[in-house]
Amino acid sequence: MTTTEARPAAPAAAGGKHQASDKSRSEARLAWLLAGPAFAVMLLVTAYPILQAFYESLFDYRLTDPANRSFTGLSNYGVILTDPVWWDAFGVTVLITVVTVAVELVLGFALALVMVQALKALRPILRAAILIPYAVITVVSAFAWQFAFAPDSGFVNSWFSFVGLAPDTDWFGSPGSAIFVICLAEIWKTTPFISLLLLAGLAQVPEVLQEAAKVDGATWWQRMRKVTIPNMKAAIMVALLFRTLDAFRVFDSVYVMTAGANGTEVLSFLAYRQTIARLEIGLGSAVSVLLFISVVLICGLFIKGFKVDLSQARGE
Amino acid sequence: MSIREKVGWGIGGLLIVVYCLFPIAWIVSLSFKSSADISNGSFLPTVATNENYETILTGDAAELFLPALRNSFGICLIATALACLLAMFAAYAIARLDFRGKKLILSTALAVAIFPVISIVTPLFNLWREIGLYDTWLGLILPYLSLTLPISIWTLSAFFREIPWEMEQAAQVDGATPWQAFRKVIVPLAAPGVFTTAIIAFFLAWNDFVYGISLTSTSASRPVPAALGLFTGASQFESPTGPIAAAAVIVTIPVVVLVLIFQRRIVAGLTNGAVKG
Query: Residue range B126-145: average pLDDT?
Result: 90
A52, A127, A158: residue with CB nearest B263: A127
What three-state secondary structure class fits B272? Answer: helix
Q: Which of B60, B73, B82, B67 is nearest to B218 (CA)?
A: B67
Q: In this predicted structure, which of A230-234, B98-102, B238-242, B250-254 has the lowest mean pLDDT?
A: B238-242
Q: Distance between CA atoms of A72 and B223, rounded to whole angstroms?
A: 37
Q: What confidence tens digit (pLDDT) does each residue in A266-304 have?
A: 988 888 888 888 888 888 889 989 988 998 898 888 878
- pLDDT, residue A8, reads 45
Q: Residues B136-145, buried b or exposed e (16+ Cβ, 10 A)?
A: bbebbbbbbb
C-beta atoms of A135 and B178 within 8 A: no
Residue A125 — pLDDT band, cuts 50, 70, 90?
confident
pLDDT value of position A18: 46
CB A289 within 8 A of CB B119: yes
Pairs of residues, one from chain A and one from chain B, whose beta carbons lie less than 8 Å apart: 331
Beta bridge mates, A59: A71
For residues A82-109, average pLDDT: 92
Contact (CB<8Å) A132/B20: yes
Cβ neighbours of residue B254 under 8 Å, at least 6 residues apart? B206
Which chain A residue is nearest to residue B82, measuring alpha carbons? Answer: A3
Contact status, residue A267 vs residue A87, Cβ threshold 8 Å: no
Rounded to the nearest 10°, the torsion over CA B229, B235, B238, B241 is -30
Please report which helix (H) or strand (E) contains residue B75, including its range.
helix B62-96
Encode pLDDT of B148-187 as tens digits: 999 899 888 888 888 888 888 888 888 888 888 888 888 8
In the 3-class helix/strand/coil scheme, how is B114-166 assigned residue by residue? CCCHHHHHHHHHHHHHHHCCCCCHHHHHHHHHHHHHHHHHHHHHHHHHCCCCH
Closest-CA residue of chain B to A111: B16
B277 pLDDT tier (thresholds 50, 70, 90) = very low
A38–B105: do the CB atoms touch at under 8 Å? Answer: yes
B146 with A141: Cβ contact below 8 A? no
Give the percent of chain A with pLDDT over 70. 90
* Higher-pLDDT residue of B114, B26: B26
Q: Is the pLDDT of residue B242 over 60?
A: yes
Question: Is A291 in contact with B116 (Cβ distance < 8 A)?
Answer: yes
Closest Cα in chain B, distance from residue A213 (Å) = 18
pTM of the full structure: 0.86
DSSP state of B236: T
Q: Which fold has domain B62-230?
A: MetI-like fold (1.10.3720)
When comparing pLDDT for B208 and B115, which is higher? Answer: B208
- Residues of chain B neighbouring A147 (CB-CB closer than 8 A): 26-27, 30, 241, 245
Amino acid, single-letter form, for residue A78: G
What local confidence, expressed as pLDDT, does residue A189 receive? 92
**B198 pLDDT higher than 90:** yes
Largest distance between two CA atoms of chain A: 84
pLDDT band at B273 (very low <50, low <70, confident <90, very high): low
Residue contact B120–A276, C-beta within 8 A: no
The answer to whether A82 and A169 are in contact (CB under 8 A) is no
- What distance in Å separates residue A122's CA from the closest CA in chain B? 7
Query: How many angstroms separate the CA atoms of B206 and A138, rounded?
Result: 10
Show the domains of chain A with their CATH numbers: 45-82+278-308 (no CATH), 91-205+240-269 (1.10.3720.10)
DSSP chain A: -GGGG------GGG-TTS-HHHHHHHHHHHHHHHHHHHHHHHIIIIIHHHHHHHHHTTEE--TTSGGG-EE-TTHHHHHHHT-HHHHHHHHHHHHHHHHHHHHHHHHHHHHHHHHHHS-GGGHHHHHHHHHHHHHS-HHHHHHHHHHHHSTTT-SHHHHTGGGT--TT--TTSSHHHHHHHHHHHHHHHHHHHHHHHHHHHHHTS-HHHHHHHHHTT--HHHHIIIIIHHHTHHHHHHHHHHHHHHHHT--HHHHHHTTTTTTT--HHHHHHIIIIIT--HHHHHHHHHHHHHHHHHHHHHHHHHS---HHHHTT-
DSSP string, A204-228: TS-HHHHHHHHHTT--HHHHIIIII
Which residues have a Cβ under 8 Å from the Cβ of B190 and sit 6 or more positions away?
Answer: B88, B159, B160, B163
A132, A245, A276 member nearest B259 (Cβ) = A132
Q: How far is A130 from chain B (nearest CA, A)?
A: 6
Provide, as residue numbers in chain B, all residues whose Cβ is less than 8 Å from the Cβ of A276.
121, 125, 213-214
Residue whose C-alpha is closest to residue A112's, from B12, B223, B123, B236: B12
pLDDT of residue B275: 59
B221 vs chain A: nearest CA distance in angstroms? Answer: 17
Whether residue A2 is predicted with pLDDT greater than 60 in this model: the reply is no
Alpha-carbon distance of A3 to B151, in angstroms, equals: 18
Give residue limits of the domains in chain B: 62-230
Give the best residue of A3, A7, A41, A241 to mutate against chain B (max B CB count within 10 A). Answer: A41
With the CA atoms of B83, B89, B95 and B98 taken in that order, what torsion angle do they form, in degrees rounded to the nearest 10? -130
